[in-house]
Structure 1
Amino acid sequence: MTQENAPDLAPLAERARAPRLLTLPSAETGLTWRALDVGDVQELHALFARVESHDNPPYRTTLEEAAETFQGDWKDAPNNTLGGFDPAGTLQAYGTVTAQPGDVRSVRAFLEGGVDPDWRRRGIGSAVLRWQVDRSRQVLAASGKDVPGRIVVHVEDGMTDSVRMLTEQGFSPRRWYTEMRRDLNLELPAVKLRSSLDLVPWSAELDDQVRLAHNESFRDHWGSEPHTVETWQEGRTYFAPTWSFLVLDRTSDRAQVAGYLLSGRYEQDWDSLGWTEGYIDILGVRREWRGQRIATALLARAMAAYREDGMEYAGLGIDTDQPTGAFGLYGNLQFEPTRGSTMYTIEV
């Protein structure tokens, strides 16, 4: 039985076991600790660059993405961020906690953090993580929603120190993610949709209908929660409208969104990946329209757009409840796995 359908849960405010006060990492770390604010964006971006240069993940964070840390009132940066500064005023460690306001079936607190490579192995990362877990428990307890709670950290494969630290603090592996790519030199599938289904470019006028369609489509997916208008717009810095498409059902006078594919253009990642790609951020088909090859048609159209713009590959990520999950539709379309990551959680 999963926690999502477990009966008779105690109130989340009790289950969260939230501390009344938070304890900052000690002065013995050699850093001074305070909340981050928008004025720290340049320092935060510089720290991201040092960490990513050392750890070499398959992505690079831009200044614009660093600024997203503070965008959205629900982020509550004064209470949900922590930065450690050295005596020269340079940011050497950080941690954030983010809870999405639209969560209804469960309440999730997402943790992100990092320590400059020169400041590692001093207990700083563990101290930041303890603060994040305690703050997450406060956030869950204050949500007022008596549903399952979850504290979440995503870890790229190969980050053994992070896994050890998470395990020591009570996290367990919960879901596994696989990044995949598809060579655009390969022949694309030809799909003919029935006459009432119209594959069209994404448009801003239809975007909120896409949001509602997504909330409906993913209602039965593990861990998915509905997007509010605000959270739907989060992380759109590198959204690629010309690579994004919809399938509309025009059976009735008012066209309905039956399926959708939204793409991102993450040029900052291409050097670390070693190839250029169009990235499929979101793909969904509403239940009533499943089984009609709508997803395949959307993928084929998006991949054609990527190829027309000179991309070498199409990329996407899938999640499973096992380390080696079936690739289904994507495997059939000749997508191949490239790397993986794991979601670690504390279930509350």
Structure 2
Amino acid sequence: MTDLRLAPIAERADPPATLPPLTAGGLSWRPATAADAADLLALRNAVAVADDAPYRETEAEVADLFAASWRDFSTDSLLGYDEANVLRAYALADTRPGDTGTVRAFLWGAVHPERRGEGIGREVLAWLVGRGRQLLAASGKDVPARLVTYAEDDAPGSQHRMFEHAGFEARRFYSDLRRDLEVSVPDIRLGEGLRLVPWSPELDEPTRLAHNDAFRDHWGSEPQDTETWTSGRSEFAPAWSGLVLDTAPDVERLLGADDTDAETAASLRAGAPLVVGYQLASRYDSDFDVRGYRFGYTDALGVRRAYRGRRIAPALLSAAMRAFAADGMRYAVLDVDTANPTGAAGLYASLGYEKVSGSRMYSIEL
């Protein structure tokens, strides 16, 4: 619902008529294309090495960026090359078509460690903020708006200062957690009518509906359409992913509930399977050497709001831990919003997860 106290998004976003020039460092700038995936990968990983980030990307992960139809790289990206035609900096502004409660512009960018201190990063960020404001204004969605970027907690202090100087504020904090799989994993039984099954393609759409329901009350979450839900899965591990089904749902009660969303209601009327919880995992082999151990990663975990309190999440996590361990992983790893409203941090602690590192979200609220 539109907040009548808000000015129109076209005014609040305050989009610049023209974007600021990028002149620092004498780089040559042009929009990115899919053919630049290898260059972009080399740059992003060079930054990750210099900043001691706990990850390294693969070319498939970078190629995923270009596969999404909603991204327009011709207008929303820039690559900065030096005289030797080596990529030294990049910028990418990204909006999501399904945003309804808050329209967001995600701002991504980096400068090669060898070219820091020349003012390139400040100009990249200024360009990103300007382009982000233009995208928000062009959305036509008169709802709250947000410019978003992220940083590891232990990233160089200059990065945090640059964001703060540009008007960003650290608003959300995330903990990277791990759980030793050499410690016994609890056997958690589900209640009557609930059945844990492997992820399968035919259950992916019911899982998307479960996700949108599970995250409706999470700060910063917006509904995902089919394309955004299925994008970015180059490292997805179906064999490590599980779902919980209600095999005999009370359809009449669910259809009569005020908070059953329209898509779920249509699915129930059509007799589709009802996914009530899910754990989707990925295998990031390129990170094993960086972290110094093999691990399975839980990318997404959620339980439908009407099914909370029935031990569904612990059952899914325990099943994932057993799957990880069976494939020779030493740890189970995941990331959690420290202000998660469902008490997730307490759940993870009860299952033996411990904090390893952290990151934060910076934003400008409009």
Against the structure 1 CA distance between its residues 20 and 162, is the aligned structure 2 distance closer, same or farther, given a 3 Å change threshold? Answer: same
Report what 1:340 is aligned to. Answer: 358
**Which of 65, 71, 96 pairs up with 1:75?**
71
Report what 2:126 is aligned to. Answer: 130
Verify the 8 A CA contact 1:243 1:262 in the aligned structure 2: yes
Report what 1:235 is aligned to. Answer: 232
1:135-189, Cα deviation, whole Å (9 max, x unpaired): 0000000001000110111100122111011011000011000000000111111
Report what 2:22 is aligned to. Answer: 25
Question: Following superposition of structure 1 onto structure 2, how do residues 169-180 of structure 1 map, counting pairs within 5 Å?
Answer: 169-180=166-177
Report what 1:188 is aligned to. Answer: 185
**Which of 18, 33, 39 pairs up with 2:35?**
39
> Does 1:166 pair with 2:154?
no
C-alpha displacement of 1:6: 6.4
4+ runs deviating over 2 angstroms: 4-7, 252-255
Matched position secondary structure for 1:211:
helix
Verify the 8 A CA contact 1:98 1:111 in the aligned structure 2: yes
Deviates more, 1:17-26 or 1:252-261: 252-261
Deviates more, 1:133-142 or 1:37-46: 37-46
Matched position secondary structure for 2:70:
helix
Aligned residues: 342
1:65-97, Cα deviation, whole Å (9 max, x unpaired): 121221212110011111111111111000111
2: CA distance between counterparts of 1:149 and 1:264? 31
Report what 1:226 is aligned to. Answer: 223
Report what 2:259 is aligned to. Answer: none
Matched position secondary structure for 1:279:
strand
Report what 1:108 is aligned to. Answer: 104
Identical pairs, percent: 49
Report what 2:243 is aligned to. Answer: 246
Letter in 1 for 2:131: R
Matched position secondary structure for 1:68:
helix
1: CA distance between counterparts of 2:46 and 2:307? 46
1: CA distance between counterparts of 2:299 and 2:237? 10
**Which of 277, 294, 303 pairs up with 1:259?**
277
1: CA distance between counterparts of 2:38 and 2:325? 35
Verify the 8 A CA contact 2:336 2:344 in the aligned structure 1: no
Verify the 8 A CA contact 1:174 1:321 in the aligned structure 2: no
Q: Structure 2: where are the runs of 5+ without partners? A: 250-270
Deviates more, 1:68-77 or 1:90-99: 68-77
Report what 1:8 is aligned to. Answer: 5
C-alpha displacement of 1:225: 0.3
2: CA distance between counterparts of 1:254 and 1:63? 36
> Does 1:53 pair with 2:49?
yes
C-alpha displacement of 1:115: 0.7
Verify the 8 A CA contact 2:65 2:232 in the aligned structure 1: no
C-alpha displacement of 1:5: 9.6
Report what 1:96 is aligned to. Answer: 92
2: CA distance between counterparts of 1:326 and 1:263? 17
Matched position secondary structure for 1:97:
strand
2: CA distance between counterparts of 1:309 and 1:334? 20
Q: Scaled by the length of structure 2, what TM-score is found?
A: 0.90
Letter in 2 for 1:196: G
Letter in 2 for 1:226: P
Report what 2:254 is aligned to. Answer: none
C-alpha displacement of 1:23: 2.1
Q: Scaled by the length of structure 1, what TM-score is found?
A: 0.95
Verify the 8 A CA contact 2:2 2:143 in the aligned structure 1: no
Matched position secondary structure for 2:179:
strand
Letter in 2 for 1:202: W
Report what 2:310 is aligned to. Answer: 292
> Does 1:143 pair with 2:139?
yes
Verify the 8 A CA contact 2:276 2:303 in the aligned structure 1: yes
Matched position secondary structure for 2:352:
coil
Matched position secondary structure for 2:6:
coil
Report what 2:329 is aligned to. Answer: 311
**Which of 193, 209, 225 pairs up with 1:212?**
209
Deviates more, 1:332-341 or 1:61-70: 61-70
Verify the 8 A CA contact 1:265 1:279 in the aligned structure 2: yes
1: CA distance between counterparts of 2:179 and 2:113? 34
C-alpha displacement of 1:254: 5.2
1:208-234, Cα deviation, whole Å (9 max, x unpaired): 110011001111111100111110111
2: CA distance between counterparts of 1:188 and 1:49? 34
Against the structure 1 CA distance between its residues 254 and 144, is the aligned structure 2 distance closer, same or farther, given a 3 Å change threshold? Answer: closer
C-alpha displacement of 1:258: 1.1
Letter in 2 for 1:117: P
